[in-house]
Amino acid sequence: MPSLEEELFPSTPGKFKIDRGHTMNRQFNRCFASTSTMFLWALFLIALTASYLSFQSFVDSGSRYFTASWGGIQWEKQIRSSAQIHRSKGMSVLVTGAAGFVGSHVSLALKKRGDGVVGIDNFNSYYDPSLKKARKSLLNSRGIFIVEGDINDARLIAKLFDIVAFTHVMHLAAQAGVRYAMENPHSYVHSNIGGLVTLLEACKTANPQPAVVWASSSSVYGLNEKVPFSESDRTDQPASLYAATKKAGEEITHTYNHIYGLSITGLRFFTVYGPFGRPDMAYFFFTRNILQGKPITIFRGKNRVDLARDFTYIDDIVKGCVASLDTSGKSTGSGGKKRGPAPYRIFNLGNTSPVTVPTLVLILERHLKVKAKRNVVDMPGNGDVPFTHANISLAQRELGYKPTTDLETGLKKFVKWYLTYYGYNRGKAVH
C-alpha cells in the first residue's frame, strides 16, 4: 500500500509510451492535478497549524490554572488542617498580613494556645521579602499555613471562607510607612482601602459572620496637639496619606458595622518594635547603619525640639490583639443582612511612655557597644509628626491591656535577635 507521502507526491513510473494526441491535455491535467494537490496540502498545513496553536493555547491555559499559587485538593487540605482548633472554646482565625511583623507574632501566639490559624500575605517588595519568607518558615514550622495571595483578590478570599467557617478575622495586612506614601500613593489606596473593602465584603456575606479586629494606626491623630492621645480626640487632620487611609478605614468599618451587623474592633498601634520587625522603622535601620559604620539621620522638630515616640514592644501589642479577639463579641448579620446591633470599638495600644529619638540612639549604642555617627537635621514635611503619646485607659479597662516592657528592655531583646539573625554572632554579617 502506498504511503501518505507517495499518495501526495507520487513517483514517476519507468518507461511509458507517450500518446502524442493527448500530450497537451495530459500536461494540462497533470498541471491542474499538481496545483490542486498543492492547494489541498496547503489547506492541510494551515489546518494542522491552527490545531497545534489551539492545542498549545489549551495547554498554556491549563498550565496556568494548575500552577496557580492557590487552589487544589492539597491546598484545601492544608488550610483545613491549619484552621483546626485544639482547645476548648477556641477560635478559628484568618490573619491577613500573616508574614508581616505584627501578623506573624499574633499568629504564633494564637496557635500556641490552641486556636486555628490560617494566614494570607502577598509578600510584596516594600521591604526585603526574604524577611517575610523567614517569618513564613517559622510559622510553617508551627503548623500555620500561609496562603500566598492578595486581599484584593475577591475570588481567593471567598474561597477561603468556603473552606473554613472562620469565627474571627485579624486584619493586619496594609501598606505601611508614612514617607513611602509620597513615592507610591496608589499602593496605599489599593491595600488600605480597596483591600479592606474586599475583605469586609467577604465577611458580611459569610454565614456565620466572623468578628473583625483590624489594625488602624496612631497616625490618625495627625496634627492633634492634645496629649496624651485619646480615642475620643478629633482625627480629622491627617498629616500623611497613610494616616488618611487609616482614618478612611475607620469610617468604612463603621459603615459595615452599622449596615451589616459586623462586630468591629479597630486598634491604633503606637510605634511597634521588636524582633523580626520592619526594616523601614528607625530603630531597625539605625541598628544596621551603626553596625556598618554609616551615619544615621536624626530629625528634630520646630525650635530644635527632639522628636518623641510612644515605642511599644511587640509582645505587648500581641497581648492587646489577642485580648481584642477574645472580647470582640459576635457579629449579628447573616447572609449580608443585619439582625441587630453589633459591637464597634476602637482602642489605643501603646506604652504610654514616650521616649525621644536621641534617647533611643543612646540605648542602641549601649547594647551594640558601637558609637553612632549622628547627622541631626530639621524634620522635612514628609508626613511625620513630632510626637506620639497614647492614653491607654480605655484598653486597660475593656481589654485588661497592660504593657510591661520598657524601651531599654525591648531594645535589648531586639538587638540580641538582630545580631543572631544577621550573623554578627557568627562573624558572618549579611545584609
CB 220 within 8 A of CB 246: yes
Residue 188 CB partners (closer than 8 Å, separation 6+): 175, 181, 241, 242, 245
Say how far apart CA 285 and CA 279 lie, in whole Å: 6
Q: Which of 92, 93, 325, 337 is nearest to 204 (CA)?
A: 337
Rounded to 10 degrees, what is the CA torsion of 233, 238, 240, 243? 50
Compute the Cα dihedral for 345, 351, 354, 360 and give only its sign: negative
Residue 319: half-sphere exposure toward Cβ, Cα within 13 Å:
17
Work out whether the CA dihedral 416, 419, 425, 426 comes out positive or negative.
Answer: positive
Residues forming the active site: 242
Rounded to an integer, what distance in angstroms lies between the CA atom of residue 148 and that of residue 14?
A: 72
Question: Which is nearest to 107 in space by CA: 311, 97, 98?
Answer: 98
Taking the CA atoms of the chain, what radius of gyration do you get in angstroms? 32
The closest alpha carbon to 164, from 108, 132, 118, belongs to 118
Taken in order 49, 53, 58, 62, is the CA torsion positive or negative? positive
Q: What is the helix (H) or strand (E) element at residue 374, kind and residue range? A: strand 373-378
**Whole-number Å distance between alpha carbons of 144 and 95:** 10
Please give the distance of CA 255 from its chain centroid, rounded to a whole number: 24
Helix (H, G, I), strand (E, B) or coil at 321: helix
**Pairing of the two strands 308-309 and 145-148:** unpaired
> CA nearest 171: which of 253, 240, 64?
253
